[in-house]
Structure 1
Amino acid sequence: MERREAGLFYVNRVFPLWIQSGGTAEGEGTPTAEFTRLHPRFRALLKVYGAPIESSQNAVQPNIMNQLIISMTVEKLKAVVMQLFPRKGSRLRLSFAHSEQGKESIFNKERQSLHFYDIMDGSRIYVRW
């Protein structure tokens, strides 16, 4: 899982340089020698993960304030998020940060309630795809 996320992050980060150096979204084209020297595995990763989708969906969405029931499970929270932000074929990742600590943690047990993670007033829940 971490390797996949790292690969996707790398492709998203380097893709604009790939296009500037002569590559195409399909993984074809001949990039510059310097690009190939700096990023030798990029073409293979691009074929595995595909080109990043550039659309208005990638833009940062405004914050949504919503009150949640503390007994709600993470699984049900994901269902609510999928209704608010419909995206087909995307893997949803949720994390949270307490208002006073600010340290971000991941919801890693879907059957646990929000109370298990000590979610309280002022806590923030982050949604990433």
Structure 2
Amino acid sequence: MWPHLEELYLSDNDITELLRPEHVLQTLKVLDLSNNHIVQETVLEISHLPCLEKLNLSSSGLSVIQFRDASAGNKTASFPALKTLLLDDNNISEWCVVNELEKLPSLLHLSCRRNPLLQREKNPETVRQIIIARLSGLEQLDMRQVLSDERRGAELDYCKMFGLAWLKAGGHRDPEKNHPNTEFMSEHPRFLALLQKYGAPEEGELKEQKPFALKNQLLTITFVCPEDSERKPIEKKLPGSMIVQKVKGLLHRLLKLPGMELKLSYTCSKMSGREIEIDNDLKPLEFYSVEDGDRILVRWS
């Protein structure tokens, strides 16, 4: 009936099964199937549409998606043009589904709010970072742009977060001995690529998750301004869970530097002579392994 149709909206239509479109809908760019309880095994029947750029499968009962034509780290032939995928309000509860989405060759925008997977972590920002780290091409997640700084922070965090699991699975800092088992690689298919990009995390950065009770302990921190010798060091007790952005806000008030761009780094007694940059405003101090008695260096421009 419509040989040149480009957009088709079919939400709330009690559609349950999809059949492969043969010689029809080949010009389709946008397809909305939200609020239809679809038999998920039939979703791939529409994956051959050559021009499909945006697909809405929100509230469709989806829990699994699998591209069997491509192994981890490779791209699927399915959905060749798909840039935008909406998966809000489904039953996705496993990280392997996100790993499968990395196989999509053109995916740029993803929305997957209100899925059971996201309820696992208490902090929604942590979930966001893990998704960004697992999906290399993502430019927008849940309607928020993924900036290059956020990607870098997310990927570095990911390496630290799963670094101990990598070592236990047979990973090694020496590239020639770095052979993690297939179970780890199927769970974290991007991990080796991230190690190539950033290098293996230092052992001091691979900390076991601390029990919750320790997270609220106060750290005695000395703030030093190395480029302004007239300013005396300031000592403060701060919770390890305090995020860097709030620390900068406190320093703006203490140092009377409103509007200045602050750059923070820290030194600790364990690694004398080494200065570690604190480069992500959304991370807590404990993420950087800042400990009681450490000095934070404050510079501004």
The alignment's TM-score, normalised by the length of structure 2, stands at 0.23
CA distance in 1, matches of 2:241, 2:279: 16
The answer (yes or no) to whether the contact 1:70–1:113 under 8 Å persists in 2 is yes
Q: CA RMSD in A?
A: 1.8
Q: Is the counterpart of residue 78 in structure 1 residue 254 in structure 2?
A: no
Q: CA deviation at 1:92?
A: 1.0
Aligned to 1:67: 237
Quote the sequence identity (%). 33
Computing the radius of gyration from Cα coordinates, the structure with the larger value is: 2
Aligned to 1:91: 261
Which structure has more relative contact order (CA 8 Å, sep 6+)? It is 1
C-alpha spacing 1:70/1:88, structure 2 compared with 1 (3 Å): closer
Give secondary structure in 2 for the equivalent of 1:120: coil
Runs of 4+ in 1 over 4 A off after TM superposition: none
Runs of 5+ unmatched residues, structure 1: 1-57
Give secondary structure in 1 for the equivalent of 2:245: helix
The answer (yes or no) to whether the contact 1:99–1:124 under 8 Å persists in 2 is no
Q: How does 1:6-45 map to 2 (within 5 A)?
A: none
Q: CA deviation at 1:85?
A: 0.8
Q: Which moved more, 1:99-108 or 1:72-81?
A: 99-108
Deviations 1:30-70 (A, max 9, x none): xxxxxxxxxxxxxxxxxxxxxxxxxxxx5531111111110
Aligned to 1:29: none
Give secondary structure in 1 for the equivalent of 2:234: coil
C-alpha spacing 1:117/1:60, structure 2 compared with 1 (3 Å): same
Deviations 1:19-40 (A, max 9, x none): xxxxxxxxxxxxxxxxxxxxxx
Q: Which amino acid aligns with 1:64?
A: I
More strand by share: 2
1:113 to 284, 291, 296: 284
Deviations 1:1-36 (A, max 9, x none): xxxxxxxxxxxxxxxxxxxxxxxxxxxxxxxxxxxx
Q: CA deviation at 1:100?
A: 2.1
Q: Which amino acid aligns with 2:271?
A: Q
Give secondary structure in 2 for the equivalent of 1:62: coil
Q: CA deviation at 1:89?
A: 4.0
Runs of 5+ unmatched residues, structure 2: 1-227
Give secondary structure in 2 for the equivalent of 1:71: coil
CA distance in 2, matches of 1:115, 1:59: 28
